[in-house]
Amino acid sequence: MYVCICNAINCKTVRRTVEDGASSIASVFKACGKTPQCGRCFTTIREMVGETKAANCDVHMAPAIAAE
């Protein structure tokens, strides 16, 4: 699904950039080599960044929790 119609950025691309280190809307656009246009996608990208970061944190925390 397209997240940013103006720049043709889809959800897979957003998730991949976050997994590769993007931590903000600006860093997602920078990683894609794009610049924001209308801003309608900001809320969705912000949510996706938060969700992906939380999922990655949970995965990295699981072994430590299991070891306790």
Higher pLDDT, 64 or 54: 54
For residue 52, pLDDT beyond 70: yes
Query: What digits encode the pLDDT tens for the residues 13-25?
Result: 999 999 999 999 9
C-alpha distances in angstroms, 54 versus 3, 7, 18, 35?
Answer: 19, 26, 11, 25
Q: What homologous superfamily is domain 2-67 in, according to CATH?
A: BFD-like [2Fe-2S]-binding domain (1.10.10.1100)
> How far is it, in rounded angstroms, from Cα 40 to Cα 5?
9
Domain borders along the chain are 2-67
pTM: 0.77
pLDDT at residue 36 is higher than 90: yes
